[in-house]
């Protein structure tokens, strides 16, 4: 049960309707997750959903790399809905179930590719220290390149906003689904 009462989607303001239509007609196809909460501030909702569209569908990162970063972010913020939703998307992107489960339980997954291992190390180091060592930074540049590094920062930052919204609004996983994080 969400803290915020559902919006009457048939009685939105013109600004809310414009953003809701943009979200529904885009690749997401609906107002799940943080979007209904964000509609209470249509300008924020519009800008955030555009950033989110880039972070989810347009970065230079391989999809499985992005999904790993999103799972790590959801885990860090204990965002149940976020982790639940992106575990499925991570599977679709090719992340092995063992990797998803290791992230879910707080273990270090076995990551065969250097871009995945670098992403894991960068995100977990940053969340643990709020900084990035020179060694990890140089490795990320070598493996991901400058654009990839900046895209990764964007993905983690955007999904931090999503996770915070979901947690504060108390957006639950769908009925009948189990919360993935303890």
Question: Hey, CA dihedral for 13, 9, 56, 119, is it positive or negative?
Answer: positive
Average pLDDT value over all residues in the chain: 94
pLDDT score recorded for residue 30? 75
User: For 177, phi and psi rounded to 5 degrees?
Assistant: -95, 150
Query: Of 128, 129, 153, which is closest to residue 76 (Cα–Cα)?
Result: 128
- Which residue segment(s) compose the domain that 34 sits in? 14-57
The reply to whether 44 falls in a domain is yes
Give the model confidence (pLDDT) of 14-69 as tens digits.
999 999 988 888 777 777 789 989 999 999 999 999 999 999 999 999 999 999 99
The residues near 97 (Cβ < 8 Å, ≥ 6 apart) are 91
Is there a single domain that holds both residue 118 and residue 144? yes
Q: Can you tell me the distance from the alpha carbon of 116 to that of 39, in angstroms, rounded to the nearest whole number?
A: 34
Is there a single domain that holds both residue 47 and residue 69? no
Residue 1 pLDDT class (50, 70, 90 cuts): low
């Amino acid at each position: 049960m969400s803290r915020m009462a559902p919006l009457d989607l048939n009685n939105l303001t013109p600004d809310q309707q414009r953003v809701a239509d943009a979200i529904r007609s885009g690749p997401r196809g609906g107002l799940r997750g943080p979007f209904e909460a964000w509609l209470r501030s249509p300008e924020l909702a519009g800008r955030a959903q555009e950033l989110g569209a880039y972070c989810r569908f347009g970065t230079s990162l391989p999809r499985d790399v992005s999904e790993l970063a999103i799972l790590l972010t959801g885990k860090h913020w204990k965002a149940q809905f976020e982790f639940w939703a992106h575990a499925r998307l991570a599977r679709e992107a090719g992340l092995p179930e063992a990797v998803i489960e290791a992230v879910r339980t707080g273990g270090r997954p076995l990551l065969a590719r250097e871009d995945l291992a670098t992403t894991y190390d960068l995100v977990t180091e940053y969340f643990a220290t709020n900084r990035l060592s020179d060694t990890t930074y140089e490795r990320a540049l070598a493996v991901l390149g400058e654009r990839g590094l900046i895209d990764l920062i964007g993905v983690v930052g955007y999904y931090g906003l999503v996770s915070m919204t979901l947690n504060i609004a108390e957006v639950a996983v769908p009925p009948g689904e189990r919360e993935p994080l303890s």
